[in-house]
Structure 1
Amino acid sequence: MGQNAPYPALEKLPPKRESIETISILRQANKATAALAELKGIAKTIPNQAMLINAIVLQEAKDSSEIENIITTQDELYTALTINQTNVSPATKEVINYRKAIFLGFDFVKNQGFLKVNDIVNVQQSLVGNSAGIRSAPGTVLKNDKTGEIVYTPPQDKQEILDLLTNFIDHYNKEEPDLSPLINMAILHYQFESIHPFYDGNGRTGRILNILFLILNRLIDIPILYLSSYIIENKQDYYGLLNHTNRTGEWEEWILFMLRAVESTSLQTIKKINAIRNLLESVATEVQHSAPKTYKKELIELLFEQPYSKIEFVVTRLNVERKAASRYLRELENIGILESHKIGRETLYINRRLFDLLKDKMQ
């Protein structure tokens, strides 16, 4: 935008109805809603929902952080989660914090059925690992990474930020039966990013709020739809359309972008869930055939909740002695289900096929 003041001043919600319900928007909203409904149904075919939540939440944590140039690898993440390393990289630690923040927000939604402004603050604090809270000192501006040009100056006065957040959360929690929740999500996401209430973590917090909004509106049951992979692939459009809407007050292209993100990501996630289910069934059959004494439903499910496992996980889940747990894992390695890797004094057992599947973009 190239100016040092919010331009135009950020208006409170809601926008005028005619600007957010064009024919193109309504048509795309129907397509996105249908894809999301199919995803919700497919997700229910996985008997152990923890498998989906753990696998997909961590991928989202990685992708959403990557948008903010926080880069780590799948291997670093799973290793850190499995053996509780203290010397993990700062990027890996931030991604693990993101995962915690998603689960914290999910708990708020499940337990309350709504969100409060303070819940958003708690999610953001869990994410960034500090308690600075809502911006109180002026001077925050958003700049173009390459040119250094100021592209947007969010509201500076703390009371104005609080007023806008109160207006935001009122509309976030409000049931609007005559407006598509997906259109509403796009509007709410724009508004939150424009308020930019924190010194750090606004984008990641806003993307967590998207998924919690879908759960609140019963479009999905568990946190498994994330738009970050789509945003990474279309990062320039994402930021360009945020700025365009702020500069012009025109909503259509921004809302269409977000609706296409929901449709595309829903279809990708359906493919991923089907692939996980097929692999789960294939591995279960393989173990029953090649190592029948080792086969236990709970053991197979454990290996699909996280691609990296260790003896302690099996001891806890199956309530068996370490010797038995070690024997199960070694037997699964012998028949090619797992690979073992030594890290320090720990032996990790990797479900390589699941690991590779989770990395797959599923185009």
Structure 2
Amino acid sequence: MMHGLERLKEMPLSLRLIREMHERLLQSGRGGAKSPGEFRRSQNWIGGTRPGNALFVPPPTTELDTCLDALERFMHEDESRLPALIKAGLLHVQFETIHPFLDGNGRIGRLLVTLYLCVNGVLRKPLLYLSLYLKTHRNDYYRLLQEVREQGAWVAWLDFFLAGIADTANQAFDAATRIVDLFKEDRERITAESDRAGSALRVHDLFQQNPFLTANQLVERTGPSAPTVNAVLSDLERLGAVEEITGRRRGRVFNYSRYLAILSEGTEPLSSPTMGVTA
């Protein structure tokens, strides 16, 4: 997502950018051997063991260029005057139905929603992720996608999609509020209970920016000596603000565990129907 937003300073939202994001995504995730950054050159399917018994078969490769061209044109058209939220919902179905990659279509399709809303000024920061909502309601999600494909049931899909946007936005607001409250609570405890409050607050500030840090990194970034930083980390451990996660004496890594707990809510992998790929 951040790569895509950075590249938008130089290029428009496009198929080229989607391929770049896909290549980057598969560098460190599952599917690394399935043509990162390249649109598929073979038939894929969703559900079942072969196209003949699949739940859904995306367009054949002979139609892929035409479908992708229509997707890119729809991203940029303004004659319909559709609100950006509605278009984001339509684009997601269009992308998932084309299923242009051998792997990673679901992840890119969810990123595309957030990216599109950022491009069109609905979001100032990429703080809305639909993954948790779609995972929680996965049966409805897959059913509604299929009903659009088979019956043209766009209204039911958009009702579901917009409810997900509202639910996710409310969750993001709640998480942000809890993070602000957590930072305030820990700062107050550090100020009241730490013998090295000044240094401890500087360290606490760094953990807000990066919830995983080593003692050496903290020495480099805050200025105090290594013994002082180690004493501060002991204070923060005692106060429950940070936690050492390696169990080693050297090369220790600390994390801001309660902050991470809020950030990590709902980030378990989103499972999907079995997909096959023919040679």
Fold agreement, TM-score > 0.5: yes
Which residue number corresponds to residue 174 of structure 2? Answer: 271
How many angstroms apart in 1 are the aligned matches of 2:23 and 2:175?
31
User: Which of these residues, 5, 23, 37, is aligned with residue 125 of structure 1?
Assistant: 23
Counterpart contact for 2:243–2:257, Cα < 8 Å: yes
C-alpha spacing 1:196/1:308, structure 2 compared with 1 (3 Å): same
Counterpart contact for 1:294–1:331, Cα < 8 Å: no
- The superposition leaves residues 249-296 of structure 1 with CA deviations (integer Å, 9 ceiling, x where unpaired) of 221111111100000011111111000001111111211222263435
SS at 1:295 equivalent: helix
C-alpha spacing 1:320/1:218, structure 2 compared with 1 (3 Å): farther
Deviation, structure 1 residue 210 = 0.8
- The superposition leaves residues 110-159 of structure 1 with CA deviations (integer Å, 9 ceiling, x where unpaired) of x136312111111111112344511112x3121158xx94111111125x
Question: Which deviates further from its counterpart, 219-228 or 337-346?
Answer: 337-346
Kindly provide the amino acid, as one letter, of the partner of residue 291 in structure 1: S
How many angstroms apart in 2 are the aligned matches of 1:219 and 1:282?
32
1:192 aligns with 2:95: yes
How many angstroms apart in 2 are the aligned matches of 1:302 and 1:120?
33
How many angstroms apart in 1 are the aligned matches of 2:225 and 2:78?
51
C-alpha spacing 1:300/1:250, structure 2 compared with 1 (3 Å): same
Kindly provide the amino acid, as one letter, of the partner of residue 105 in structure 1: G
Which residue number corresponds to residue 233 of structure 2? Answer: 329
C-alpha spacing 1:356/1:117, structure 2 compared with 1 (3 Å): closer
Counterpart contact for 2:144–2:153, Cα < 8 Å: no
SS at 2:127 equivalent: coil
How many angstroms apart in 2 are the aligned matches of 1:234 and 1:320?
49
Which residue number corresponds to residue 308 of structure 1? Answer: 212
Counterpart contact for 1:298–1:317, Cα < 8 Å: no
Which residue number corresponds to residue 116 of structure 1? Answer: 14
User: Which of these residues, 306, 317, 337, is aligned with residue 221 of structure 2?
Assistant: 317
Matched length: 255
Question: Which deviates further from its counterpart, 275-284 or 311-320?
Answer: 311-320
Which residue number corresponds to residue 205 of structure 1? Answer: 108
Which residue number corresponds to residue 155 of structure 2? Answer: 252
Q: Which runs of 4+ in 1 moved over 6 A?
A: none
Question: Which deviates further from its counterpart, 268-277 or 149-158?
Answer: 149-158
Which residue number corresponds to residue 26 of structure 1? Answer: none
SS at 1:151 equivalent: coil
Which residue number corresponds to residue 224 of structure 1? Answer: 127
How many angstroms apart in 2 are the aligned matches of 1:300 and 1:176?
50
How many angstroms apart in 2 are the aligned matches of 1:117 and 1:312?
42
How many angstroms apart in 2 are the aligned matches of 1:113 and 1:286?
47
Kindly provide the amino acid, as one letter, of the partner of residue 157 in structure 1: T
Tell me, which stretches of 5 or more residues in structure 2 are unaligned? Answer: 267-279
1:136 aligns with 2:41: yes
Counterpart contact for 1:114–1:173, Cα < 8 Å: no
How many angstroms apart in 1 are the aligned matches of 2:150 and 2:139?
16
How many angstroms apart in 1 are the aligned matches of 2:224 and 2:66?
55
Deviation, structure 1 residue 233 = 0.7
- The superposition leaves residues 200-242 of structure 1 with CA deviations (integer Å, 9 ceiling, x where unpaired) of 1111111111111111111111111001101111001111111
Tell me, which stretches of 5 or more residues in structure 1 are unaligned? Answer: 1-101
How many angstroms apart in 1 are the aligned matches of 2:61 and 2:149?
18
Which residue number corresponds to residue 171 of structure 1? Answer: 74
Deviation, structure 1 residue 326 = 2.7
Deviation, structure 1 residue 357 = 3.1
- RMSD between aligned residues: 2.4
SS at 1:141 equivalent: strand
How many angstroms apart in 2 are the aligned matches of 1:177 and 1:195?
21
- The superposition leaves residues 77-128 of structure 1 with CA deviations (integer Å, 9 ceiling, x where unpaired) of xxxxxxxxxxxxxxxxxxxxxxxxx22112123x136312111111111112
C-alpha spacing 1:275/1:113, structure 2 compared with 1 (3 Å): farther
Counterpart contact for 1:307–1:350, Cα < 8 Å: yes
1:241 aligns with 2:144: yes
SS at 1:213 equivalent: helix
SS at 1:346 equivalent: coil
TM value normalised by structure 1: 0.64
